[in-house]
Amino acid sequence: MTKKLLEMRSITKEFPGVKALDNVNITVNEGEIHAVVGENGAGKSTLMNVLSGVYPYGSYSGDVFFDGQLCRHQGIKDSERLGIVIIHQELALVPYLSIGENMFLGNEQQRRGRIDWHKTHQKAEEYMRIVGLQENPHTLVKDISVGKQQLIEIAKALAKNVRLLILDEPTSSLNESDSKNVLDLLLRLQEQGVTSIIISHKLNEISYCADRITILRDGSTVETLDNQSAEIPEERIVKGMVGREMTERYPTRSRKVQDEIALEVKDFTVYHELFPDRKVVDNVSLKLHKGEVVGIYGLIGAGRSELALSIFGQAYGTKASGKIYKDGVLLELNSVPDAIRANIAYVTEDRKGSGLILSNSIVHNITLPRMDFVSQGMRIDKDLERKTADHYRESLDIKTPSVGQLVENLSGGNQQKVLLGKWIFSQPDVLLLDEPTRGVDVGAKYEIYQIINELVEEGKSALFISSELTEILGMCDRIYVMNQGRIIGEFLAEEATQEIIMNRIMQDSKGEIGA
Amino acid sequence: MRTEKVMGSGQKKESLAAEVRSLFVSNIRDYAMYIALAVIFLIFTITTKGLFISSRNLINLVNQTGYVAVLAIGMTLILIIKHIDLSIGFVAGFLGAVAAILLSNGWNVWLVIPTVLACGVLVGVYQGFLVTKIQVPAFVTTLAGMFMFRGLLSMVTAGTGTIIVRDRVFLQLSNGYIPDLPWGANFDFHLLTMLVGIGLVAAMIFSQVRHRQSLIRYQFKTNSPTIFAVKQVALSVIIMVITWIMASYRGIPWTAVIVTVVLLIYNFVLTKTRFGRHVYAIGGNAEAAELSGIKVNRVTFLVFSSMGLMAALAGMLYTSRLASATPTAGLGFELDAIASSYIGGVSVGGGVGRVTNTIIGALVIMSLTNGMNLLGVDISFQYVVKGAIFVLAVAFDITTRKRAKA
Ligand SMILES: Nc1ncnc2c1ncn2[C@@H]1O[C@H](COP(=O)(O)OP(=O)(O)OP(=O)(O)O)[C@@H](O)[C@H]1O
Ligand SMILES: [Mg+2]
């Protein structure tokens, strides 16, 4: 016998110029894992923000019933009192506080007005056991991996006596094994009676764990599918999301890799920023041909981003040594402006932290790296600037009423497209792409792949860093495998498979190579 | 295809009443400032039985606002990039005294002004160096500066006490008016002032229309033609009223000219140049700015240098106004400047703010000072009122910004 835990009836929510939700209906049964999917900007996060009280009662129309009762949340505290806990798209842990402190932030374990540290840490350990983490509760959050941080977010939610757990793209910055950890935890919690709503663009995860799937498109509910009795094929979900069949996940490139080398990195070594005797990039040499997409795969902490950043004008690390040649010429790249002038672009993996200026408009973000392209002398040509930005809004299909919109008002995936647009605008010959499709929906991923293809077909080249091995295998001509700062293998696309790559990493971690 | 639907709902025709309401809701932050200014004017006009809005007092208010406005403009940039400068009050006081000393030593005024401005830049360079190269937090650097320049001010005024300034040109800075055209004598108002006012209205309407056309071309959100027209008419009326007040008195004060020039330059730099864009980018997200190829340290350094320059200018305006340099000149200026910026809409979180609004903020603060002086309110009580208004303004700012997100 199923009981409705949550019912949201004809929810409509408007922002100035945008109707984010238009008469959305959704019901969630007690004890199920309910997935919400849809394209970027479909309104998934907005719907969850309505549910959790981020947007208070009265700022939207429609009714929310939880456990049969009409909700009038004024803020997130009200929904938490009912046991509705949301884990937002971007992690919200405080890096310089310990695991224990983070877990009870805003929910401190007090005794007579003072924080009871003994109890805090004891309870923190208890909840960490539930989520399957073995860490010291005194460890600072910044010192543990993102995968573990996500588990701590969940533990933090559990500590609030959660009945309905909402996870907005919990796995977007995790690799496959960490993601699976999170999903298995959800399944275990389900057995203990926790209901959850999960939002994800990784459809294999949805098929894996969801009981029912609600699809949103353009702010409206399209359908709710039952994934329990028979597993829904991914293609079926995609069709509901984008409104048409999508057979291919990776577009094909028509032109071949050229023989000329675009970028060559030789004997590159970089040391840690804070611990100058720790090597983060260890004697790396690599080549990018013109018209080539080269993948770098490695587990988190392998040093991939650090490598890309240090190529990008030593934006990371200290005591960098080694040589960089572009088109056969030795480059001196001592700063980011040097690298940009040499037509190298780096698309960061952390769009909010180091990619975008959220409080600025789309136009201002896109033109930032090469404002000289849209200026005459000192003065910015605003007409030209807007026209340029508008071009990227169209070609990248950034969903917004105008390029004057502030980036903070865009959905996560659309922000990612702005980030990409910004660096394509800088007219690079070499693109260093660090997780370029993070948080992007399937349809838009395809479009981004196509844009990358177009660029390399023009003779540019791309270094493609990703934690999704399938994506690397689908997009790259050649793949480097990295582990602990070293390149431990190089494969052509034809010969690479998941097993071969994962085996190489395992062997290396065990220290068998070279033994 | 997908965007069309969003745009359809975004650009749909709203009724006028609905538009006014939504305009009000989304700009409540800006309007609140104007409403506050209007309320202050109203209250003081009533309590002083009209004395407050007499031409004489309004001109006085303009001259009084001058030095704060200049400081606040410099401070706006500092606050946008998430720094602070506590030293400017005594830097201004000290440099004002330096100007007085040089003048009384017989220096030519046209040599004194650039020299003192250069000294201001040097102070900014010194503080900017500490903040960017040595990474001493701005709070610490400028708190130390506040003490040092307070001490220096006491030292240079120690022998003589107050230093009187007699140079005619220098005194004009804060007490003089622009000359009239030769034909002006035929009118019973200041002709040049009227012409400038009319020219200003024409220029404003011209640039607003062009701006609007460009916005429409790229589907930016714009007001309906009615609202746009009403806004233009209202602004024109305000400008003409102010012009008339000045024209029927003695013309435009030199202070107003100086502040306007400074304002126009800073506004141009912030909104139309790459440097301005860099300032906002750094305030919004310094790490992302750095990774976009912006030299964060260089921009920060320049912003501090500009602050020094403004402090020097403000110091001279103040000295000119009092016709003397005093040992306590500059006390509390930093609070007025910071309050003006925040009241004018600079975000406490950085990255947001406009110098044109900062000027309104400065007017709010100085109307308070002016009105309370007219009423003979005790100076100690004035501090309490100003402090309270300051903190209220920031609290209001933070809550409206939060609300705007929902
Ligand atoms: N504060 C805001 N102001 C204006 N528009 C907003 C605001 N927040 C969201 N929107 C708009 O509402 C729509 C829905 O956004 P939402 O964040 O819910 O999308 P989403 O489905 O979560 O997308 P993603 O998969 O990219 O995270 C988007 O078009 C977005 O631009
Ligand atoms: Mg979202």
pLDDT digits (tens, 9 = 90+) for A295-314: 999 877 788 888 999 999 88
- CB-CB under 8 Å, B219 with A401: yes
Closest Cβ–Cβ partner in A18, A369, A382 for B10 = A18
Alpha carbons A213 and A232: distance in angstroms, whole number: 9
Given a cut of 50, is residue B3 above it in pLDDT? no
Region A200-223 average pLDDT: 89
Closest Cβ–Cβ partner in B10, B26, B287 for A401 = B10
pLDDT of residue A315: 79
- What would the pLDDT profile of A10-51 be if each residue is shown by its tens digit? 999 988 778 899 999 999 998 899 999 998 888 999 999 999
Residue B114 lies in domain = 29-176+295-405
Alpha carbons A127 and A158: distance in angstroms, whole number: 7
- CB-CB under 8 Å, B2 with A18: no
* Helix, coil or strand: residue B124: helix
Q: What is the CATH number of the domain that holds A495?
A: 3.40.50.300
What is the number of the ligand 1 atom nearest to the C-alpha of A44? Answer: 21
Helix (H) or strand (E) holding A433: strand A430-434
* Tokens linked to A448: 């981004």
Which of A379, A406, A427 finishes a domain? A427
Choice from A8, A18, A49, A198 to test ligand 1 binding pocket (greatest atom count within 8 A of CB): A18
- CB-CB under 8 Å, B347 with A372: no
Given a cut of 70, is residue B405 above it in pLDDT? no
Give how far B66 is from chain A: nearest CA, Å. Answer: 28
- What would the pLDDT profile of B102-159 be if each residue is shown by its tens digit? 999 999 999 999 999 999 999 999 999 999 999 999 999 999 999 999 999 999 988 8
Alpha carbons A102 and A92: distance in angstroms, whole number: 9
Based on the fold, state whether residues A422 and A444 are members of the same structural domain: no
**How many domains does chain A fold into?**
3
**DSSP secondary structure letter of residue A370:** G
Q: Is B279 on the interface with A (CB under 8 A)?
A: no
- Pick the residue from chain B with its C-alpha nearest to A217: B2
Residue A201, phi-psi category: left (phi > 0), alpha (psi -120 to 50), beta (remainder): alpha
Based on the fold, state whether residues A50 and A94 are members of the same structural domain: yes
User: Binning pLDDT at 50, 70 and 90, where does residue B101 land?
Assistant: very high
Given a cut of 60, is residue B1 above it in pLDDT? no
φ and ψ at residue A360, rounded to 5 degrees:
-105, 165
| Residue carrying structure tokens 């999960």 | A198
Computed over every residue of chain B, the mean pLDDT equals 89
Amino acid occupying residue A472: I
pLDDT of residue A208: 87
Region A465-489 average pLDDT: 90
Computed over every residue of chain A, the mean pLDDT equals 87
| Angle of CA points A184, A187, A188, to nearest 5° | 90
pLDDT of residue A321: 84
Nearest to A452 by CA among A441, A442, A463: A463
Based on the fold, state whether residues A264 and A285 are members of the same structural domain: yes
Based on the fold, state whether residues A58 and A190 are members of the same structural domain: yes
Based on the fold, state whether residues A226 and A123 are members of the same structural domain: yes
Burial of B246 (0-12, 13-18, 19+ CB in 10 A): buried
Evaluate whether residue B161 is within a structural domain.
Answer: yes
pLDDT of residue B319: 95
More confident residue, B298 or B4: B298
For A9-145, where are the alpha helices, taking DSSP H only?
44-51, 76-81, 99-103, 117-130
Based on the fold, state whether residues A99 and A237 are members of the same structural domain: yes
Closest ligand relative to A88 C-alpha = 2
**How many domains does chain B fold into?**
1
Based on the fold, state whether residues A286 and A402 are members of the same structural domain: no
For A266-303, where are the alpha helices, taking DSSP H only?
none
Evaluate whether residue B120 is within a structural domain.
Answer: yes
* Helix, coil or strand: residue B361: helix
Query: Which residues numbered 254-313 in A keep a CB inside 8 Å of some CB on B?
Result: 312
Question: In this predicted complex, what is the ipTM?
Answer: 0.85
A412 lines ligand 1 (CB under 6 A): yes
pTM of the complete model beyond 0.95: no
Given a cut of 80, is residue B65 above it in pLDDT? yes
Alpha carbons A356 and A350: distance in angstroms, whole number: 9
Evaluate whether residue B11 is within a structural domain.
Answer: no
Closest ligand relative to A16 C-alpha = 1
Alpha carbon B189 to chain centroid, angstroms: 28
Evaluate whether residue B10 is within a structural domain.
Answer: no
- What would the pLDDT profile of A498-508 be if each residue is shown by its tens digit? 889 888 888 88
For B81-137, where are the alpha helices, taking DSSP H only?
88-104, 109-132
User: Binning pLDDT at 50, 70 and 90, where does residue B10 land?
Assistant: very low
Question: What sign does the dihedral A140-A144-A149-A151 (CA atoms) show?
Answer: negative
Evaluate whether residue B204 is within a structural domain.
Answer: no
User: Binning pLDDT at 50, 70 and 90, where does residue A1 land?
Assistant: low
Based on the fold, state whether residues A14 and A124 are members of the same structural domain: yes
Residue A278 lies in domain = 250-343+430-515
Q: Is A11 on the interface with B (CB under 8 A)?
A: no
Which of A427, A460, A490 finishes a domain? A427
Nearest to B286 by CA among B272, B271, B297, B276: B297
**Rounded to 10 degrees, what is the CA torsion of A85, A90, A92, A98?**
120
- What would the pLDDT profile of B369-400 be if each residue is shown by its tens digit? 999 999 999 989 998 998 898 888 888 888 87
Closest Cβ–Cβ partner in A371, A389, A397 for B2 = A397
Largest Cα–Cα distance of chain A, in whole Å? 73
Region A52-75 average pLDDT: 88
Q: Is A371 on the interface with B (CB under 8 A)?
A: yes
Task: Give the bridge partners for A464, in sequence order.
Answer: A295, A433
Based on the fold, state whether residues A134 and A44 are members of the same structural domain: yes
- What would the pLDDT profile of A122-155 be if each residue is shown by its tens digit? 888 888 888 777 778 888 877 777 778 888 888 8
Which of A406, A427, A448 finishes a domain? A427
- Which protein residue has the closest C-alpha to ligand 1 atom 31? A410
Based on the fold, state whether residues A55 and A150 are members of the same structural domain: yes
